[in-house]
Structure 1
Amino acid sequence: MSQQTLSCYPDTRLGKLAVVVSAARDVASGLLELCDDANLVENEYFFDRSSQAFLYILNYYQTGRLHVMEQLCALSFLQEIQYWGLDELSIDSCCRDRYFRRKERSETLDIKKDTEDLDAQDEEEDFSGTLCPNVRQRLWEVLEKPGSSVAARTFGTLSMAFVVVSIANMALISVELSWLAPPLLDALEYLCIAWFTVEFLLRFLCTRDRCRFLRSVANIIDLLAILPFYITLLVESLCDGESSEELENVGRIIQVLRLLRALRMLKLGRHSTGLRSLGMTIAQCYEEVGLLLLFLSVGISIFSTIEYFVEQAIPGTTFTSVPCAWWWATTSMTTVGYGDIRPDTTIGKIKEAALRQREALKKLTKNTSSDSNLNVNLRDIYARSIIDILRLKSRERASTRSSGGDEFWF
């Protein structure tokens, strides 16, 4: 590569090297600050950097376009381009969006991993100054680390079984079956609630920081799964012997409280890597999901308003208001099309057909940037979340097996 080409980029490492060499070829001062070694006789300069990444840097000097190296993580690629005096703004537009998404994902996962590792270390160390540290340590591992021992795996399996039985029992209560007596279902409900209560109390008694325990999302879900049962019992006992009108109001309250029992399904997140990864994925992709919902809202508002003013003059039309047209636009844009509300005019039918065809083609081709980026981002983060959780689980198993021994990290 000629010095004239390198001189076009004077702020980069190679550009500065070209200036130093052209200004004083026989003087080696300043060269070692720009390269690791140099052979002035052969005009050769050595850099202890990645040879694969340098191909992309070299291509930038030749074409003025910097592309992202797929085989290297975003943070490592950033270190490489910063070493050569380039910045992120030099990345070409075709790779810029993918690079920044990968970089943000890597930084988020690194921070989350460091935080969880520190929390795990704190949990292993802080039991030494508490009452009955050995008992609490072992009980905490059984409750919070399902893969640490046979007892922990047995407890985790039982806990998952009670959750499944509780959900099935909640569904069977609403079915009238001759062979299934209501007292049996009530007994199963009491048994599941007793298990969930004991499990929650054991976790609460064993934790070292009870304030943080009550702020945890998983523990809040556990508490909401059992509170409706006790509140229902309390309300029924307090309103015993009241008038029929008051009993009717109490019945509505109890019905709402019973709906909260569906939250027991979320208790499976303690034992399912997939559910935990899904929650992490949604938390990390909230911007993309919000952007997608914003696009849908804009389309729904525009098309529903137009359709309402087109159809409102037709006698017996189902488009009685703009909110009614919102439902039609929502089912049309999501290609569901229940058919409960449909246009009667020719213009409205043509508009609906065009809207459905557009959304169907959009799902098939996946050409729009918002959909493709969201799909790729969701898949990537979901896969990375699963890998991250599995790594943490393997570290927990390794730490419990080698108590007091040396730790090996790969």
Structure 2
Amino acid sequence: MTATPDRPQRQPMDSIDERLILNVGGVRHETHVSTLRNVPSTRLSRLSETHVQSRQQEEYFFDRHPAVFNSVIDFYRTGELHVPLDVCGAVVKRELDFWQIDEFQIRACCWRHYRVYIDNQRILEAYNTNLGIEHDDCSLDDLTGWKRFQMKVWILLDHPRSSRAAMIYGITSFFFVILSILGFCLETLPSLRPQSVTALANATSRPECDGKARDQMLRWEPNIFLNIIDIICTVFFTLELICRFTFAPNKLKFIKSAMNIIDIIALVPLYVQFVLNIIDIEYCYMSERLVFEVMFILRIIRMFRIFHLVKHYQALKILVCALRASTHELLMLLIFMIIGMLIFASMIYYAEREDVVNPGKTFATIPVGFWWAIITMTTVGYGDVFPKSSLGYLVGAGCAVCGVLMLALTIPVISNNFTLFYTHVRSRSEVPKGTRIKSPEEVVLEPIVTMQRKHSGCFIHKCVVRNPRNS
């Protein structure tokens, strides 16, 4: 229930002016009953009613945070809730929940500091959820027989940091990934580039393509050394994929994984080449340029195997999580870039026209202006197209300034998320093994749960009533 300052109801003069003492964390506060009634439906307002009914001079002790309570009692007096900036937001929220004060009563000047805690908590919850899913996927608890053996092998294959054997396997697998990518890059060198060879067809078994027999057919022969490397890597990746699928605890999730799909597609070119080399119709199909292009595109996919590095290098995993957490900011940046591209491309097209009818030579169409606007707003500036008129200079200057502002407003959010994740992971890695780190929800809810368990039906947590007259 939202706690807002309200005008207290009229009470007898003795009860309104009656005072009580609150001892919070060793700091004593003396206040009027009427002050605590200013914010109804809260813990202290109900305490004031109980105090008036008891008609005793009592001191109430609360084992709570004294610095935050200074802000709480000031809220009862002035109606403005300001929180201390040197106290963690989790502590402030815990105390506000205990005193049953709505956090939205915090003033705007302090809300930004408090909101940072909420945003960071939300981001770290998403990151911890991903860590929890990975931890649950590789849990050996309550597993026996084949399931336990399957999980052990899966941990070795998919979690390189789980053991020394898993690390050795991960390094070996990554070595073959690097070797495969290196072979793909080296085959673009002139001396190692695949050669197109014209082969003579057998007279007794000339293939017919489009109903016509061909005497000479075009074949694609790669470099022998690179071809051997490609075969070795393909055999390794095939065996690895079969083993990982066999021992995967969730086959459907394994098939849907993006990295596994990339691994499967990357294996296709060599097997397609092998099949076409052993059948007679290979001459017809291998002579088609479309097949060469498709094979080349499929071979490019092996470059994406480099993302296997995410398993070995934790900073890359943090970067991926930071990008996921910054989805809204990236979408906002994309929308801003599209709006700026449309506006400045149209403006530069009309600014660079030769006359009303004829467009300019550099910006002949607005789509050309799209390209210019993108490279200008991102401060790349290739220099292939640029304005030449005075009006075009003004449009170009405005485009560059707007691009800098767009990047300056959105990129720091991504870098802040990366810093937050990195600091969080470093702090977790310094915790001794076997120590469980409590989540912010557990820290906030633990005192309330303890209160309900130990003091069922009582609204005062750890309250000690002292009567000076009886002491």
TM range (shorter): 0.7 to 0.9
Query: For 1:322 and 1:67, how far apart are their aligned partners in 2?
Result: 54
Contact 1:317 1:344 in 2 (8 A): no
Query: Hey, what does 2:100 align to over in structure 1?
Result: 85
**Structure-to-structure mapping, 1:291-310, within 5 angstroms:** 291-310=332-351
**Structure-to-structure mapping, 1:272-291, within 5 angstroms:** 272-291=313-332
Q: 1:105 aligns with which of 103, 123, 126?
A: 123
The structural deviation recorded for 1:236 is 5.7
Query: Hey, what does 1:251 align to over in structure 2?
Result: 292
Query: For 1:146 and 1:290, how far apart are their aligned partners in 2?
Result: 34
Query: Hey, what does 2:417 align to over in structure 1?
Result: 377
Q: 2:312 aligns with which of 259, 271, 292?
A: 271
Aligned CA distance change for structure 1 residues 99 and 298 (closer, same or farther; 3 Å): farther
Query: Hey, what does 2:161 align to over in structure 1?
Result: 147
Contact 1:56 1:69 in 2 (8 A): no
Query: For 2:269 and 2:71, how far apart are their aligned partners in 1?
Result: 61
Greater Cα offset, 333-342 or 62-71:
62-71
Query: For 2:436 and 2:116, how far apart are their aligned partners in 1?
Result: 30
Query: For 2:81 and 2:273, how far apart are their aligned partners in 1?
Result: 67
The structural deviation recorded for 1:55 is 4.6
Contact 1:221 1:267 in 2 (8 A): no
Contact 2:124 2:421 in 1 (8 A): no
Q: 1:318 aligns with which of 358, 362, 372?
A: 362
Q: Deviations over 1:293-348 (max 9, x none)?
A: 11222222222222222223456432222221111111111111122111222122
TM-score by length of 2: 0.68
Greater Cα offset, 90-99 or 150-159:
90-99
Aligned CA distance change for structure 1 residues 188 and 57 (closer, same or farther; 3 Å): farther
Query: For 1:106 and 1:252, how far apart are their aligned partners in 2?
Result: 45
Q: For residue 367 of structure 2, what is the amino acid of its counterpart?
A: P
Helix, strand or coil for the counterpart of 1:153? helix
Contact 1:281 1:378 in 2 (8 A): yes
Query: Hey, what does 1:36 align to over in structure 2?
Result: none
Q: For residue 198 of structure 1, what is the amino acid of its counterpart?
A: L
Query: For 2:371 and 2:193, how far apart are their aligned partners in 1?
Result: 42
Aligned CA distance change for structure 1 residues 198 and 241 (closer, same or farther; 3 Å): same
Q: 1:174 aligns with which of 188, 194, 199?
A: 188
Aligned CA distance change for structure 1 residues 205 and 60 (closer, same or farther; 3 Å): same
Q: Which has the larger helix fraction?
A: 1
Q: For residue 179 of structure 2, what is the amino acid of its counterpart?
A: V
Contact 1:274 1:386 in 2 (8 A): no
Query: Hey, what does 1:341 align to over in structure 2?
Result: 385
> Of the two, which has the highest radius of gyration?
2
Structure with higher RCO (Cα < 8 A, 6+ apart): 2
Q: Deviations over 1:40-72 (max 9, x none)?
A: 44xx33223333443554565557144475653
Q: Deviations over 1:126-168 (max 9, x none)?
A: 4x2427x54x454334323323433222212111211112111
Aligned CA distance change for structure 1 residues 340 and 2 (closer, same or farther; 3 Å): farther
Q: Deviations over 1:202-228 (max 9, x none)?
A: 112222332232233443343333334
Query: For 2:181 and 2:321, how far apart are their aligned partners in 1?
Result: 24
Q: Which has the larger strand fraction?
A: 2
Are 1:242 and 2:284 an aligned pair?
yes
State the percentage of identical aligned residues. Answer: 26
Aligned CA distance change for structure 1 residues 338 and 137 (closer, same or farther; 3 Å): closer
Contact 2:285 2:291 in 1 (8 A): no
Q: For residue 329 of structure 1, what is the amino acid of its counterpart?
A: A
**Please, which runs of 5 or more residues in structure 1 have no aligned partner?**
28-39, 399-406
Helix, strand or coil for the counterpart of 1:130? helix
The CA RMSD measured in Å over matched residues stands at 3.4
Instruction: Report how many residues are paired.
Output: 372
